[in-house]
Chain A
């Protein structure tokens, strides 16, 4: 794994941390004061700080350090969460997000001077005994390089504080007889196997400890093997440090918090502690350093009860090919001196269980999904072949089909992500909008755990942002207007997601003024989008806001009003196979609802034929299928027919004629009619020859494999091996040939 890959993981962790932190902060804002909420925010910020330090992102590390200091004061109960503090923490969160974005190359580093000053002011105002420790300069202020020591800076800044090297330099394995300072503690830091393989560098932690006042007494390199047995990813070194009494254990634990599973940290008793005498070879190993052989020989029986918690460390050592460090063995304290260690072990949370999640490269995942798709197709082809030969009586065939479907569902579910990652951006957008519009907004979020395909999640962010901005900018009234209208001064925005009928519905609602239809109509006429005498329903007027270039905003702002928003919103949603609808009531507010497919890789489709060709029509767009009676069809000349669908005459779109397919049905009464629902044109009528089947198909990108083809959204391979084109119903209905919107009332 190279540095870029590791850094990518760090960025992913930052994203997750930011989501958690924001959720916690929103909960705080809503009045939550429970310990877990505070701890969640603290852990998220602390983890980002740790990663920032490891990668040398000093600005980010410095900022998180200050943020963390205030959070720590809240966590420890030194201060309560008041509205002013929540506001500062939310602003700090926004700045933190900007810092993370900046190091990802997305934007410039934020100017954090003001918010840093506010954080420092809060930190200083808390009269806490540990204030001095908390106010220690951020480690990032030292000029450390991205992955190791910045040597020049080290010479300048650390050499002075470090004890003379000669005082602790001795032969391999020996502990230098440096008198332990009064009221100090000894600490063994031993990175375990895996400490280096995940990109961490324990040296940085060591250096952070030293910066906080710890004194390095001894480095043990006796476990380092000769070059032939050397494994770069293994950790062989360990260090003994002297920890001053002024350095709290919690401060030390925090330094090692994010490597707690890959770094053994052992306090070795309070000082003054006599230096342990080097052990003679015949003496038994100290209890905490028991070898596996000793364990097997039953030495466990001799262990005191209090030593039991140390067993996990032994288990870890068991997996290590390296021998036990001689020096560590020689310097381990006597059992009776282990009491503080054991207390810590007993008080410490249980060792983290094997992680329940793993990170997988998205490309690998997509490849898996693709392969499963191929498997589904192959299974279908096999079933078809067997069916053609009357060989369908095998139970195994049905089992194979079930297993394949289950596998497909499982593969697709791996790609599913909660929409939380998109919804998580909204609070900040709302905060910024409140600041720029002087409107008061209360955000309500529901269904953020709803899962849908990662690709959909990634692409839904921009349309959603636009809808939120429009809701605040256009939908909600000013506080004065709201009060005048008998509403609370604070506007209400509701963001919700839910699964329904195999799709996901995402809605943005406001309790504002609703769409001003007179104004929309007038603006549409002014812009020549509709004739002045057009008779439009409320729904049709509302949908005018999706017309390209339409805007009723009196002034162009950076929030909305350029008239390029809503048409892009609808286009983006349509590109995802979704649609958007509006429900608006004057004076009560508006709801914009996006209906999206759960996945873009699989489609429930109806297989139809036209001439000799097979096509797939997305099932979710088919309202009904009919064989029209002659009295429901009218020929209006030029080969164009109209169909009466429940007293509404709709133009019949012949797929055979449109695609120039020889041998296709010419008359609607001889064909099958599909009534489809489209965003652009409402109901539309498609004419095909025959319905063959209804099944899930794996979507193949036509553009990637061939080129873009009009009226075609993609392709798939049917069970008989034939390639079938997936009709782009929206495009067919919306294009001039589709004569969209030319329905005639009967």
Chain B
């Protein structure tokens, strides 16, 4: 975590229901605002029931944004979400590093 973000708040974005393309569209502005003002972002997917390609891409984009900007991003969610990510071949989103705390099982 870099110094500039140390004193900024951690913002939690918690989508729910099916993470479809239109749901991603709605979530996007919230996530953009979070990255604009937060020292860390938590994308909590506990209430997400289904995830589409657009949803997976949003998670990937959040992780990429966090890595590029040095903003820690935590993806949390159910074991089902984690499985969905892994089964779509995106397990490296869950790799812990400076920008990634990892998914909760």
| B100 within 8 A of partner (CB) | no
Q: How far is the CA of A294 from the CA of B8 in the complex (A)?
A: 45
Which residues from chain A contact B93 at a C-beta distance below 8 Å? Answer: 221
Q: Of residues A216, A230, A237, which shows the largest number of chain B Cβ atoms within 10 Å of its Cβ?
A: A230
Q: Is the CB of A201 within 8 A of B52?
A: yes
Q: Known contacts A227-B65, A232-B25; is A151 also within 8 Å of B78 by CB?
A: yes
- Which A residues from 1 to 15 make CB contacts under 8 A with B? 1-3
Which residues from chain A contact B2 at a C-beta distance below 8 Å? Answer: none
Q: Of residues A207, A225, A239, which shows the largest number of chain B Cβ atoms within 10 Å of its Cβ?
A: A225
Mark A142-167 against chain B: 1 for CB-CB distance below 8 A, else 0: 00011111111011001100100110
Which residues from chain A contact B61 at a C-beta distance below 8 Å? Answer: 224-227, 230
| A658 within 8 A of partner (CB) | no
Q: Is the CB of B49 within 8 A of A151?
A: yes
Which residues from chain B contact A591 at a C-beta distance below 8 Å? Answer: none
Q: Is the CB of B57 within 8 A of A170?
A: no
Q: Is the CB of A147 within 8 A of B57?
A: no
| A168 within 8 A of partner (CB) | yes
- Which A residues from 168 to 213 make CB contacts under 8 A with B? 168-172, 191, 195-197, 199, 201-203, 206-207
Q: How far is the CA of A232 from the CA of B69 in the complex (A)?
A: 21
A-B contact count (CB 8 A): 141
Q: Is the CB of A145 within 8 A of B21?
A: no
Mark B50-72 against chain A: 1 for CB-CB distance below 8 A, else 0: 11111111101110110011000
Interface of B is mostly: helix
Q: Known contacts A3-B20, A170-B92, A172-B92; is A235 also within 8 Å of B80 by CB?
A: no
Q: Is the CB of A152 within 8 A of B80?
A: yes
Q: Is the CB of B84 within 8 A of A149?
A: yes
| A218 within 8 A of partner (CB) | yes
Q: Is the CB of B49 within 8 A of A227?
A: no
A226's partner among B18, B54, B64 (CB-CB below 8 A) is: B64
Q: Is the CB of B88 within 8 A of A151?
A: no
| B103 within 8 A of partner (CB) | no
Q: Is the CB of B35 within 8 A of A227?
A: yes
Q: Is the CB of A145 within 8 A of B87?
A: no
- Which B residues from 32 to 54 make CB contacts under 8 A with A? 32, 35, 49-54
Which residues from chain B contact A221 at a C-beta distance below 8 Å? Answer: 57, 60, 64, 90, 93
| A388 within 8 A of partner (CB) | no
Q: Known contacts A172-B92, A226-B61, A227-B61; is A202 also within 8 Å of B21 by CB?
A: no
Interface size on A, residues (CB 8 A): 51
Q: Is the CB of A228 within 8 A of B60?
A: no
Q: Is the CB of A155 within 8 A of B79?
A: yes
| A93 within 8 A of partner (CB) | no
Q: How far is the CA of A73 from the CA of B84 in the complex (A)?
A: 35
| A326 within 8 A of partner (CB) | no
A159's partner among B51, B52, B83, B92 (CB-CB below 8 A) is: B83
Which residues from chain B contact A199 at a C-beta distance below 8 Å? Answer: 21
Q: Is the CB of A146 within 8 A of B18?
A: yes
| B22 within 8 A of partner (CB) | yes
Which residues from chain A contact B53 at a C-beta distance below 8 Å? Answer: 191, 195-196, 201-203, 235, 237
| B9 within 8 A of partner (CB) | no
Q: Which residue of A lies closest to B68 (CB)?
A: A226
Q: Is the CB of B89 within 8 A of A219?
A: yes
| A233 within 8 A of partner (CB) | yes
Which residues from chain A contact B19 at a C-beta distance below 8 Å? Answer: 148
B50's partner among A149, A155, A166 (CB-CB below 8 A) is: A149
| A236 within 8 A of partner (CB) | yes
Which residues from chain B contact A195 at a C-beta distance below 8 Å? Answer: 53
Which residues from chain B contact A148 at a C-beta distance below 8 Å? Answer: 18-20, 50-52, 55, 84
13 CB < 8 A contacts A-B: A3-B20, A145-B49, A147-B50, A148-B52, A155-B83, A169-B86, A203-B52, A206-B88, A219-B88, A221-B93, A227-B62, A233-B54, A235-B53
Identify the B interface with A (CB < 8 A).
18-22, 24-25, 28, 31-32, 35, 49-58, 60-62, 64-65, 68-69, 78-81, 83-84, 86-93, 95
What 8 new A-B contacts, CB under 8 Å, besides A148-B51, A171-B92, A191-B53? Answer: A148-B52, A159-B87, A196-B53, A203-B53, A227-B31, A227-B65, A230-B57, A235-B53
